[in-house]
Amino acid sequence: MSQQAQVFLRQLFQRAVEVADPMKSLAAHLPEKPEGRVVVIGAGKASARMAEAVEFAWGPCEGLVITRYGYARPCEGIEIIEAAHPVPDEAGRDATRRLLEYLQGLGENDQVLALISGGASSLLIAPAGNITLAEKQGVNQKLLSSGAPIGQMNVVRKHLSNVKGGQLAAVAYPAKMLALLLSDVPGDDPAEIGSGPTVGDLSAANDAKAILERWKIDVPASVKDVLAKPSGVLRPDAPELSKVTNKIFAAPSQSLEAARQLATENGCEVEILGDALEGEAREVAEAQAALALKRKAERTSADKPLVLMSGGELTVTRRGSGIGGPNAEYALALALALDGAEGVHAIACDTDGVDGAAEVAGAVIGPNTLSKARAAGHSPEKALAENDAHGFFDRIGDQVVTGPTLTNVNDFRAILIQ
């Protein structure tokens, strides 16, 4: 792989991450600190960084925020608690209980600032009915392995929870609430970010039941019991949500635009394929590889390099026993579909630094990806069949490892055609 191309692609990804850093993007959307009691709550992979940005602007605040292990940030007044993601744990359940205690008993003159980012679905854990934590963990794990789109996963999560689908905000009523949201979902629908703890939803328990049936997900009796009754999910026009303002302050489109500007400054043409792409990772990879080869055939030696960029949230249907998130699987499938095409390099990473359940952002590929692997005795076809994309790229040294990025605006993909 051309080292220069790899460095350039990593720079594009880094620019996409930097522009979504709450320390750089949140303050412009934060009002002056209200008079009276203000409680700051939050959940998500970027929520601790968001809390840090709030205290940088407002000074020490009262409140509690739940973030992923390793994503805590220093705050003076806001307590930061770490818990598990993407499968919830006891720490998340206990922290959610404490967070709800902050909201109980607030009056109409009080103000709540809610900081919500991707990951809140797993970090805000309050199972409905008699569902145990272990049962909730099992359902969540099956959802993640099913290949179901994130929107459908969130419908199920909402109706199995006492905090999602506007229920968190309802606890704070009649206090006023401003929810600042960092979008990691296709289409930037506030109801989908973190399963919408501050946003109402029109879905019903029967919808969740149908999704589980469609994706052939077996669930315990306690889950069936909950879905047999109307859930606590609030409709968007519920009175308990009348004092809530939801505002998205950073989104994937802004990160793609920042990366586009950097590519243009470096003499490239850019084609944005969309910031809200969904679908099976390997299928999207095959389609984009076909487009890349078509664009390459259309170009002449006098043309500038072309970058095809896209965002969104792809999924993986678990077929094997490997560990491979959607970005790594996309990259591996893309490499196979390109089959060593000269002058074509690519990067696929999750902007939160975690692709699937692995502490790896994603991977880079180039014309020599397949030949390098095969020369070392590694089969890319076998790795893809076993969902072992992370293992594959680890073995050939082409993983992208960032550590916690403290933000989350979903996937970033760029294909460079020279």
The model's confidence at residue 105, banded by pLDDT at 50, 70 and 90, is very high
Chain position carrying tokens 């047999």: 228
Give the pLDDT band of residue 1 (cuts 50, 70, 90). Answer: very low
| pLDDT score at 145 | 87
- The token duo for 393 is 């790229």
pLDDT above 80: residue 328: yes
Overall average pLDDT of the 136-144 stretch: 92
Confidence of residue 181 (pLDDT cuts 50, 70, 90): very high
Read off the tokens for 51: 């809390």
Average pLDDT over residues 199-216: 96
Quickly list DSSP for 249-307.
Answer: EE-HHHHHHHHHHHHHHTT-EEEE--S-EEEEHHHHHHHHHHHHHHHHHH--TTSPPEE
Are the C-beta atoms of 34 and 58 separated by less than 8 Å?
A: no
Alpha helix segments (H runs only) across 161-251: 167-172, 205-214, 221-227
Q: Tell me the per-residue pLDDT of 16-32, one tens digit each, with 9 for 90 and over.
A: 999 999 999 999 999 99
Q: What is the pLDDT of residue 150?
A: 86
Identify the pLDDT of residue 188.
93
Q: Is 163 left (phi over 0), alpha (psi -120 to 50) or beta?
A: alpha
Rounded Cα–Cα distance for residues 318 and 336 (Å)? 19
pLDDT score, position 72 = 97
Q: Output the average pLDDT for the chain.
A: 96
Give the architecture (CATH level 2) of 31-250: 3-Layer(aba) Sandwich (3.40)
Q: State the pLDDT at residue 77.
A: 97
Report, as an integer, the average pLDDT of 176-180: 98
CA distance 260 to 50: 25
DSSP string, 306-322: EEEEEEEEEE----SSS
- Residues 151-176 have a mean pLDDT of 97
- What's this model's pTM, rounded to 2 decimal places? 0.92
Look at residue 167 in the predicted model and tell me its pLDDT: 98
**What is the reported pLDDT for 324?**
74
Q: Does domain 3-16+253-417 have CATH number 3.40.1350.10?
A: no
User: Please, which residues bridge with residue 253 across strands?
Assistant: none
Give the number of other CB atoms < 10 A from CB of residue 173.
19
Q: Where along the chain do its domains lie? A: 3-16+253-417, 31-250
